[in-house]
Amino acid sequence: MPLFSSNYSGSLDVKFKQISLKEGLSQSTVFNILQDSIGYLWIATDDGLNRYDGYKFTLFKNDKNDPQSLMDNTVLSLFLHKNHFLWLGTNRGLSCYDTYLNKFYNYPKTVGGEKMWVYKIAELIHDEFLLATNLGLYKFSQSKGYSKLPFPNNLQASALMKLSSGEWLVGSFSGLYVYSPKFNTSKLIGLKGINVQVLLSRVNRPQSIWLGTEGHGVMSFDLRKKL
């Protein structure tokens, strides 16, 4: 799937290829991208789920007359599970697309009249997922549904990263938290007041992470000094 190419002749010359509405992308706002083992590129947009094979797009959208269609057209996050179950975080909760059967299973969630926006999905344990949402931190399984986890009230969770200890870093709209599945606790470890949107472990320095923020640029954080 030739999305971009690079030539090296003493210095790196990277050539970018843009994939836009002109090529068939359903919407120019892209929230997440994932490539599966077959090579398909799955693109989460503000107007449906796009599948790109390197040549053409296949669009998946909500059909109000089809309960097995995508639950909502705003797709915020993606997570591939067991190679053929594609989990999607929408602004109404979770959808799961079975790529073998070509159908969606939908799990809407509303709390106090407010719909759940799922910003990030990660596997907590076997068949159980950790969710960063506008309603806080949640876990989800198909057998038990949604369960709210300890997290400050009215605080949105926005990013997730698993640590070697088994704990999870949770970026929020106001600070960086650590969640312990063992003790089912969350605590603030720093950056209160800062909106943390992206978490990335630094190469060869697993105790130091990069953080992408809203309004404060890129920051580096040393876990050894805070945990």
Quick one: pLDDT band at residue 10, thresholds 50, 70, 90?
low
Span 202-223, average pLDDT: 87
Whole-prediction pTM: 0.88
Q: How high is the pLDDT of residue 24?
A: 79
CA distances, 200 to each of 52, 150, 169, 170 (Å): 26, 23, 10, 12
Residues near 222 by Cβ (< 8 Å), separated by ≥ 6? 207, 208
Q: What is the pLDDT of residues 74-132, one digit of tens each?
A: 999 999 998 789 999 999 999 999 999 999 999 999 999 999 999 999 999 888 999 99
The amino acid that residue 34 corresponds to is L
